[in-house]
Structures are given as C-alpha cells and as structure tokens.
C-alpha cells in the first residue's frame, strides 16, 4: 500500500512537471472534433452485434447520463449526419477520408502526449509513409476501442437482462450494480492497457501497464459518475445559451483527458519503480 501512495505522489509530481493541464486541453480540443467520427465507427462496430439503431440508442443514453439531454441530442445529430447514406461515390470517398482523419486526430494527439510522458524523443522519420503509418496505428486504436466498448455494451445488456429475468428468484439490485461496475472496470482496464502499451513510440512491457491501466480505469469509472452528477446539477453551461451543450461536452472530455494523462504518469512511474526494484530482487535471490 505504501508503494501505491509513493507511485501516486510521483505521478502527481510528474503530471505537473509535464504540463498535463495544457496537454489535456489540446487533447480535449482534438477529441471534440473527433467525437462524431469516432462514435460513427464505434456504432458501426457495436451495430454488427446489436444493430445500428440499438447501438446508437445505447451509446446516446450513456452520453445523456454524462452531459444531459441537450448535449446527448446534439451529439446524436452529429452522429446521424456523419453516418448518413445515399451519397454519391465521390462524396462517399471524401466522407470516408474525413472520417479516417477525424477519428484518428485525437489518438494522434494522445500518442504525442504519451511520448512526452515517457520522455520519447521526437522521431526523426518523416514523409507520407510515416504519417500514414501513424494514422493507421491510431485508426487501429479506434477500432480496438470500438470493439471493447461493444463488449461493454454486451455485458451491460446481459446484466440488465439478468435483472429482468423471470425464471429464477430476483437478483438483488446491489449485486447487479456490482456486476455492472466490475464489467465496466474490466473493459476499461483492457482499453487503457492497450492504449498505454501500443500508442507510445517506445517498447513497454505488458506487465508494466496493467496496474496503471487498472488505476486509470478506477478513476475513470468513478469519475464518470461524479462528473455526470456535477454537470447534471450545475449551471456550468447555462451562461452560454445555445452553446451550453458544447461547454458541457468539453468539460467532460477535458476531465477524462486529465484522468488518462494522470494514469499514463502513474504507469510510467510504476514502470520506473519496477525496473529499479527487479535488479535488487534478482541480487537477493542470487545471494540466497
């Protein structure tokens, strides 16, 4: 437990030293512009299991719990506009290019932020191939995120169905909430582990990312509920009139970005601690 507190303290110090408030602002900016393309892809992946309408409805319902009815309706309109059919071949190609570029912008910015946290020197490589490779890696991260969110929807639907079943004694509500929380933690831990392992331009071992991914998932899942309650009851967006939904979405995205960056700092601190302690353990075992 003492080690965890030490790592949290070191992560907080590095989070401030790396100017993660500014990195989070840049990440939130790109995420807002990438939101509709990413959700179009996520809904397409989830729609293969549930159908597009069911997937869209479930995701919009999750967003409504975070930013309210107005924000959810605005995002739903963005998604519908971004996924409309019936366009000509040329418009379809242009739309796919915009979808690819838009959906990867946030992940490209996240990769740059993670490289700074892991103190990775800027790559000397340049040119179209390097840029295309970076975009394809980011797009793979988008698809992986979409798949994991689809798994989350499946598990949430299974928990909800368990609560409605009539062939066995009713399942206590607290147990259902615990199952839903556990499923969400598992999925988010896998998602953050994938991001922390694959996006930085450096070799990171899987065993170095799991604890940081779990801590990030815990902060994200608990914080999602708290920020949803705060945004739902506060007057944060009231002063902005028609743009209030954008302010609420931006506030939630910015908070989420800071959680991810703090989790990356914790993962980096844990990896450094693990590297420094492994030789000590190996020496002790050799002496014994």
Residue 234 is assigned to a structural domain of this protein: yes
Tens of pLDDT, residue by residue over 18-51, are 999 999 999 888 888 777 777 777 777 667 766 7
State how far the Cα of 14 lies from the Cα of 270, in Å rounded to an integer.
12
Q: Does residue 112 surpass a pLDDT of 80?
A: yes
Residue 178 is assigned to a structural domain of this protein: yes
Tens of pLDDT, residue by residue over 138-164, are 666 666 666 666 666 666 666 666 665
Q: Does residue 229 surpass a pLDDT of 50?
A: yes
| Domain of 263, in residue numbers | 18-108+127-278
Give the DSSP per-residue string, 96-116.
Answer: HHHHHHHHHHHHHHHHHHHHH
Tens of pLDDT, residue by residue over 163-186, are 655 555 566 667 777 777 888 888
Overall average pLDDT of the 232-253 stretch: 70
Q: Tell me, what's the pLDDT at 14?
A: 95
Residue 8 is assigned to a structural domain of this protein: no
Residue 286 is assigned to a structural domain of this protein: no
Q: What angle do CA 108, 43, 58 make, to 5 degrees?
A: 120
Q: Tell me, what's the pLDDT at 288?
A: 46
Contact predicate 133/195, CB 8 Å: no
- Residue 37 token pair: 């393309």
Q: Which long-range contacts (CB under 8 A, 24 or more apart) does 64-67 make?
A: 65/228, 65/232, 66/224, 66/227, 66/228, 66/231, 66/252, 67/228, 67/231, 67/245, 67/248, 67/249, 67/252
Q: Tell me, what's the pLDDT at 196?
A: 92
The model carries a pTM of 0.77
Residue 217: pLDDT band with limits 50, 70, 90: very high
State how far the Cα of 197 lies from the Cα of 208, in Å rounded to an integer.
9
Residue 237 is assigned to a structural domain of this protein: yes
Total domain count for the chain?
1
Residue 6 is assigned to a structural domain of this protein: no
Residue 218 is assigned to a structural domain of this protein: yes
Residue 119 is assigned to a structural domain of this protein: no
In this structure, the dihedral spanned by the alpha carbons of residues 238, 243, 247 and 248, taken in order and rounded to 10 degrees, is 70
């Amino acid at each position: 437990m003492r080690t965890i507190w030490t790592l949290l303290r070191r992560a907080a110090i590095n989070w401030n030293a790396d100017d993660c408030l500014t990195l989070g602002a840049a990440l939130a900016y790109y995420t807002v512009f990438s939101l509709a393309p990413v959700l179009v892809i996520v809904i397409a992946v989830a729609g293969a299991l549930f159908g597009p309408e069911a997937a869209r409805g479930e995701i919009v319902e999750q967003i409504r719990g975070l930013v309210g009815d107005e924000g959810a309706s605005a995002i739903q309109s963005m998604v519908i506009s971004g996924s409309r059919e019936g366009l000509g071949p040329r418009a379809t190609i242009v739309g796919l290019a915009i979808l690819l570029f838009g959906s990867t912008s946030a992940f490209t910015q996240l990769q740059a932020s993670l490289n700074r946290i892991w103190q990775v020197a800027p790559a000397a490589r340049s040119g179209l191939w390097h840029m295309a490779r970076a975009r394809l890696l980011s797009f793979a991260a988008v698809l992986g995120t979409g798949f994991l969110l689809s798994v989350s929807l499946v598990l949430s639907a299974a928990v909800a169905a368990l609560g409605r079943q009539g062939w066995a004694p009713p399942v206590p509500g607290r147990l259902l909430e615990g199952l839903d929380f556990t499923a969400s933690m598992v999925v988010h831990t896998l998602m953050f582990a994938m991001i922390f392992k694959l996006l930085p331009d450096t070799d990171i071992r899987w065993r170095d990312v799991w604890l940081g991914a779990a801590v990030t998932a815990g902060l994200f899942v608990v914080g999602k509920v708290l920020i949803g309650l705060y945004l739902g009851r506060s007057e944060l967006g009231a002063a902005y009139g028609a743009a209030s939904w954008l302010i609420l979405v931006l506030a939630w995205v910015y908070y989420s970005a800071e959680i991810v960056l703090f989790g990356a700092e914790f993962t980096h601190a844990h990896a450094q601690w693990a590297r420094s302690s492994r030789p000590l353990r190996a020496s002790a075992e050799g002496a014994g």
